[in-house]
Amino acid sequence: MRFIPIAALALVVIPISTVLAGNNPDTKVAVHVRPHNAELGCDYGTILTCDDLIVTEPGFSVDAFPVFFDLNEFSGCEYGMWWPDWTYSGAFSNCADLVTGEIKRPGDGASHDWLSCQTGQWVCVPSYIWLYADGPGMICVVANPVGGAISLLDCGGGIDEPFATFCAGVYGYIGDDPCPPVGTTEESWSGVKDIFE
C-alpha cells in the first residue's frame, strides 16, 4: 500500500522540478573585487567575458561584487556572502530595484528583484559590499541562509542554481580563476601521445 503513494508523489515531484528549471542553464557566480571607491557605487566596470572578472585585489579596503554570469535573462536572485571574520562589518549597497536582507557579517544573505525583465545582459550584479580586511582572505558567494540556495530567477519564473562558484582573494590571497581551461584539441592530444610512444 505504501508503494503507490510514494510512486504517485515521485510522478508529481519530477515534473515540478523540470518546470522550475530556468533559462540560464550555464550560469556561474564569482566575486569581482576592486579597491574601495565610494564615488563609483554600483559601477563595477565592464564585464563581457570571464576574463573581465577581477578576482584578486592586493589591497585591504575593497568593494566585493557578487556576479552571476553567462546569462540569458534574469529578474531576481538570492545568495549569501562569506569572508573571514575580520574586525569590521561590511557596508552593504543594493544595486537592484528591490532587496530583502542585508549583508553585514559573514554568512548573511540577500534576495533581489528587478521590476522588469533584464535581457541582453551577460551578467547580473545585484549589490556590492565594502570590506576592510585586517588579514588576507577569500570572499565567496554562498547559499542564502534564509532560502538555503544560490539562485537566479529568470523572467518566466524559472530558477537556476549556478553550477560553479569562484571566490576572490584579497590582501595577499589569489582568487579562483573564473575562466575554464582551454580544452585539449585533437592535435595536442596526439602530440602528448607521441611523447609516450
143-195 pLDDT, tens digit per residue, is 999 999 999 999 999 999 999 999 999 999 999 999 988 654 444 444 444 44
Phi-psi region of 177 (alpha: psi -120 to 50; beta: other; left: phi over 0): beta
The predicted pLDDT at position 9 comes to 35
Confidence of residue 21 (pLDDT cuts 50, 70, 90): confident
**Euclidean distance between CA atoms 85 and 99, whole angstroms:** 24
∠42-45-47 over CA atoms, to 5°? 115
CA distances from 144 to 84, 147, 150, 151, 175 (A): 17, 5, 6, 9, 21
Q: How far from the centroid of its chain's Cα atoms is residue 177's Cα? A: 13
43-74 pLDDT, tens digit per residue, is 999 999 999 999 999 999 999 999 999 999 99
Report the 10 Å Cβ neighbour count for 40. 13
Fold of 28-178: Immunoglobulin-like (2.60.40)
Listed as own residue / partner, the contacts of 117-121 with beta carbons closer than 8 Å and 24 or more positions apart are 117/73, 117/74, 117/75, 117/155, 118/73, 118/74, 118/75, 118/155, 119/72, 119/73, 119/155, 121/71, 121/74
Query: What does the radius of gyration of the chain's CA atoms come to, in whole angstroms?
Result: 20
Alpha helical stretches, state H, 21-143: none
- Per-residue cell: 83: 569572508
The predicted pLDDT at position 183 comes to 54
**Euclidean distance between CA atoms 193 and 197, whole angstroms:** 6
